[in-house]
Amino acid sequence: MMLRRALILSLLTLAACGAPSAPPPAAPGVLFTAKFSDSDPVDFNGRNPQSYPVHGIDVARFQNNINWNTARQNGVNFAFIKATEGGDLKDINFDTHWQGAGQAAVKRGAYHFYYFCTSPEDQARWFIRNVPRTPGMLPPVLDMEWNPFSPTCAHIRPPAAEVRDQMRRWLNVVERHYGQRPIIYTTPKFYRENDLDGFNGYDFWLRTTAKAPAEAYPGQTWRFWQYSATGIVPGIGGDVDINAFSGSRAEWQNWVATRALR
């Protein structure tokens, strides 16, 4: 009887106090070690992604439910979030992702997926219209790759010189607005076919999920490496793109101090 009474009192106390609260978000600036896995891992020749100390993700409408606090405390130190596409498409999850990453103090940046059937100026203005100029955000990103899926723009592939001209026009408009030189994201095929090695002074974010950057982009320096599209990250349902930063923890802090918007 005494044991039963003690148990009842204990339960009443818990009910009065409420359930244990979730752990608070980590303080801004704290870096976490990546506790990621991969549903389709690759053995890279040379230096592998796990040897880099700072990791993050990129997300779009395909990631519908993210616990950003959990993701951050498991190694998501930065996130690039899809904002816009072409001249009239806004990612349906951009606002939710942007707000969630910001509340969890994840260093966040926005990217634009480029279309060749709309002028670069119109696309730049569309990106600016939808991405708030937020102090502390990472530089904007121009995503350059051939698009085989668009119902209206899939087969438009201008000559390399025109591609580079359009890129520069978008980059210039966006840089003037945000006050930081944008990052260029690309794929090996697009990079090679359009001679993107001429964009000196730009930070590159390189996709290469089967080879290390030095093998896929010989001679090209990079700041971010998207090394998998099949990452598994606590707090995120399903596969997600995962990325590494090119330097040490101290280099990351210095890069953010220099390149984040003020």
Residue 123's contacts (CB-CB under 8 Å, 6 or more residues apart) are 84, 86, 87, 112, 114, 115, 170
DSSP 3-state assignment of 58? strand
Please count the CA atoms within 13 angstroms of the CA of 247 that sit on its side-chain side.
12
Q: And the tokens for 223?
A: 């700041």
Pick the catalytic residue from 38, 95, 121, 145.
145
Pick the catalytic residue from 58, 91, 203, 241.
58
195 catalytically annotated: no
Provide the β-strand partners of residue 90: 84
145 catalytically annotated: yes
143 close to 185: Cβ distance less than 8 angstroms: yes
Provide the β-strand partners of residue 205: 185, 224
Strands (E) in the chain, as ranges, are 37-38, 55-59, 78-85, 89-90, 107-113, 141-144, 183-186, 204-207, 224-232, 240-245
145 close to 82: Cβ distance less than 8 angstroms: no
Q: Point out the residues that are catalytic.
A: 58, 145
